[in-house]
Copies of this chain bind each other. A is one copy, B any other.
């Protein structure tokens, strides 16, 4: 194995699907994969297009979105580093994938990737488990979208983002004030939660007024009272 192998220096080597492969097995994938950087706002896959590629997300945040015939949009999932992108064995893409932040992908042509999958049962099994997890998450999101109030949605969303940011290590204190930057605009948060920009803004302002959070700068968020937020997110 050469030092030029892209997998060797892969930041998500162990968390991604590839974690199921031995170094030897990686060689096949290695020759297949191609690093690709995408700028914030750029769309990687268009809904309805032919399904050409699969990928592992190395860095950044992507959104998965769907929209109605008359243009109403809904973000149906967010993808974080080490997440898998695309749908093997499908001829066309169902959803649009767009970069919310500058991002980096490890892209594979779909057909050859399917062959690798077929040759490596452990990897395919891992993909199955990931897909089940994604399904579970999607269904949980359905409950949230259909049954939670705007306040519950915002509180839950902030907690979710805080957990992610926390593990990414902005500040380690679990219960104390945690500050992080949202990778989404108000409009994108609205698209995730099934609300409007104005409602998102109003709810955030309300939580700030109540002292549960602070909003340093347009993108920053500080969790000041996690317990109270949790109570708003999940009323007994």
Contact = CB atoms under 8 A, between A and B. Distances in A.
A135 interface: yes
A236 B70 contact: yes
Given A68-B147, A148-B68, A235-B69, A90 B132 contact: yes
Q: Which of A64, A127, A194 has the most CB of B within 10 A?
A: A194
Contact of A124 (B70, B124, B234): B124
How many copies of the shown chain assemble into the complex? Answer: 2
Contacts of A87: 132, 136
| Interface range on chain A (Cβ under 8 Å from partner) | 35 or more
A236 B71 CA distance: 9
A69 to B, nearest CB: 5
A143 B74 contact: yes
A146 B74 contact: yes
B234 A69 contact: yes
A234 B129 CA distance: 34
